[in-house]
Structure 1
Amino acid sequence: MRFDDDVVVVGGGHNGLIASILLARAGLSVRLVERAEHLGGASVGKRVFPGLPARLSKYSYLVSLLPDALAAELGLSLALRSRAVSSYTPAVRDGRPTGLLVEREPGAATEASFAELTGSGEAWRAWTSFYDRVAAFGGTLGPALLGPLRRRSELRDRVDSSTWDDLVERPLGEVLEREFADDLVRGVVATDGLIGTNASLHDSAANRCFAYHVIGNGTGEWRVPVGGMGALADALELAAAEAGVEVSTATPVLALHEHGDHVEVVTEAGSTSARWALCAVAPSTVDRLLGRAAESPEGSQLKVNMLLKRLPRLRSGIDPSVAFAGTLHLEEGYADLERAHRLAQEGTLADPLPCEVYCHSLTDSSILGDLAGRGYHTLTLFGLHAPARLFTVDGARERATEAALAALRRHLAEPLEDCLAVDADGRPCLGAESPLDLERDLGMPGGHIFHGDLDWPWLDDDEPAETPAQRWGVAVSGASRVLLAGAGTRRGGGVSGLGGWHAANAVLEARQAEGATGS
Structure 2
Amino acid sequence: MPAHEGSRTYDAVIVGGGHNGLVAAAYLARAGRSVLVLERLGHTGGAAVSTRPFTGVDARLSRYSYLVSLLPRKIVRDLGLTFRVRGRTISSYTPVERAGRPTGLLVGGGERRTREAFARLTGGKDEYAAWQRFYGMTGRVAQRVFPTLTEPLPTRDELRGRIDDEDAWRALFEEPIGVTIEREFDDDLVRGVVLTDALIGTFADAHDPDLPQNRCFLYHVIGGGTGAWDVPVGGMGALTGALAAAARTAGAILATGYEAVRIDTDGRRAEVAYRTADGEGVVAARHVLVGASPHELAALTGDPRPEPAEGAQLKVNMLLKRLPALRDTAVDPREAFAGTFHIAEGYEQLAAAHAEAAAGRLPAAPPSEIYCHSLTDPSILGPDLVARGYQTLTLFGLHTPARLFTGDNDTVRRELLKSALAQLDAHLAEPLVDCLATDADGRPCIEAKTPLDLERELRLPGGNIFHRALAWPYAQEDTGRWGVETRHANVVLCGAGAVRGGGVSGVPGHNAAMAVLERD
Percent identical across equivalent pairs? 55
The answer to whether the 8 A contact 2:145-2:159 is kept is yes
CA distance in 2, matches of 1:57, 1:185: 29
Instruction: Measure, in 2, the Cα distance between the counterparts of 1:507 and 1:141.
Output: 24
Take 2:401 and 2:125, find their aligned partners in 1: how far apart are those partners? 38
Q: Find the counterpart in structure 1 of residue 401 from structure 2.
A: 387
Structure 2 residue aligned with 1:241: 248
In 2, are the aligned partners of 1:351 and 1:404 still within 8 Å (CA)? no
Give 1:128's match in structure 2, choosing from 125, 128, 132.
132
1:244-276 Cα deviation digits (max 9, x unpaired): 211221111111111131111111221111011
Question: Which of 62, 65, 68 pairs up with 2:67?
Answer: 62
Aligned partner of 1:300 among 312, 317, 322: 312
Runs of 4+ in 1 over 2 A off after TM superposition: none
Deviation at 1:322, TM superposition (A): 0.4
SS at 1:332 equivalent:
coil
Q: Give the structure 1 partner of residue 454 of structure 2.
A: 438
* Contact 1:12 1:40 survives alignment (8 Å): yes
Residue in 2 aligned with 1:348? 361
| Partner of residue 229, structure 1 | 236
**CA positional deviation for 1:121:** 4.3
CA deviation string 1:147-200 (max 9, x = no partner): 111111112123311111111101001111111111110000000000000011
Contact 2:311–2:464 (CA under 8 A) maintained in structure 1: yes
CA distance in 2, matches of 1:173, 1:223: 26
Residues 69 and 223 in structure 2, CA contact (< 8 A), matched pair in contact too: yes
> 1:3–1:275: 8 Å Cα contact kept in structure 2?
no
Partner residue of 2:495?
A: 486
CA distance in 1, matches of 2:137, 2:333: 31
Q: Give the whole-Å Cα distance in 1 for the aligned partners of 2:457 and 2:267.
A: 34
TM-superposed deviation, 1:457: 0.7
Cα RMSD (Å) of the superposition? 1.3
Counterpart of 1:287 in structure 2 is 298
**Whole-Å separation in 1 of the counterparts to 2:335 and 2:267:** 58
The code of the aligned residue for 2:65 comes to S
User: Per-residue CA shift, 1:201-222, capped at 9, x if unaligned?
Assistant: 1120010000001111111100
Q: Is the counterpart of residue 474 in structure 1 residue 487 in structure 2?
A: no
TM-score norm. by structure 2 comes to: 0.95
Q: Which residue of 1 aligns with 2:389?
A: 375
Aligned match of 1:95? 100
| Secondary structure in 2 matching 1:338 | helix
Deviation per residue, 1:302-331 (Å, 9 max, x gap): 000000011001111110000000000110
CA distances 1:78-111 after superposition (whole Å, capped 9, x unpaired) = 110000100000000011100001106x511111
1:3 positional shift: 6.0
**Equivalent residues, number:** 502
Aligned equivalent of 2:282, options 260, 271, 281? 271
CA distance in 2 between partners of 1:297 and 1:253 (Å): 23
449-458 or 258-267, which deviates more: 258-267
Letter in 1 for 2:117: S
Q: Does 1:429 align with 2:445?
A: yes
1:459, CA displacement in angstroms?
1.2
8 Å CA contact retained: 2:154, 2:474: yes
User: What TM-score results when the alignment is normalised by the length of structure 1?
Assistant: 0.95
Give the deviation of 1:393 after TM superposition.
2.6
Kept after mapping to 2: 8 A contact 1:353/1:406 = no
Say which SS state the counterpart of residue 168 (structure 2) adopts.
Answer: helix
Deviations 1:330-388 (A, max 9, x none): 10011111111111111111132100000000000000112113211000000001111
- In structure 2, the residue matched to 1:11 is 16
* Equivalent pair of 2:18/2:48 in contact (CA under 8 Å): yes
1:342 and 1:464 mapped to 2: Cα distance? Answer: 33
Instruction: Output one character per residue of 1:120-148: Cα deviation in whole Å (capped at 9) or x when no partner.
Output: 24111111111111111111111111211
* CA deviation vs aligned residue, 1:31-61 (integer Å, no higher than 9, x gap): 1001111111111111111111010122111
1:293 Cα deviation after fit: 2.3
Q: Determine whether 1:183 maps to 2:195.
A: no
2:434 matched residue in structure 1: 418
Contact 1:456 / 1:491 at 8 angstroms: preserved in 2?
yes
TM-fit CA distance, 1:464: 6.5
Give the counterpart of 2:511 among 499, 502, 506. Answer: 502
The whole-number CA distance in structure 1 between the counterparts of 2:441 and 2:327 is 32
Q: Please say if 1:254 is aligned against 2:299.
A: no
- Consecutive unaligned residues of structure 2, counting only runs of 5 or more, are 1-6
Measure, in 2, the Cα distance between the counterparts of 1:73 and 1:56.
27
Amino acid aligned to 1:248 = A
Partners of 1:154 and 1:192 in 2: CA distance: 25
In structure 2, distance between residues paired with 1:205 and 1:170: 11
- Structure 1 residues not aligned, in runs of 5+: 512-519
1:445–1:451 Cα contact (<8 Å) kept = yes
Cα distance between partner residues in 2 of 1:451 and 1:292 = 17
Are the aligned partners of 1:43 and 1:230 in contact in 2 as well (CA < 8 Å)? yes
8 Å CA contact 1:58–1:433 kept in 2: the answer is: no
Given that 1:111 and 1:121 are in contact with CA atoms closer than 8 Å, whether structure 2 keeps it comes out as no
- Specify which of 403, 410, 416 is matched with residue 419 of structure 2: 403
- Residue aligned with 1:385, SS: coil
- Contact 2:91 / 2:108 at 8 angstroms: preserved in 1? yes
Indicate if the aligned counterparts of 2:267 and 2:488 stay in contact, CA closer than 8 A: no
> In the TM superposition, what whole-angstrom CA distance separates every residue of 1:418-437 from its partner, at most 9, and x where no partner exists?
11111101011111011111
2-side partners of 1:464 and 1:485: how far apart?
A: 16
| d(CA) in 1 for partners of 2:120, 2:103 | 8
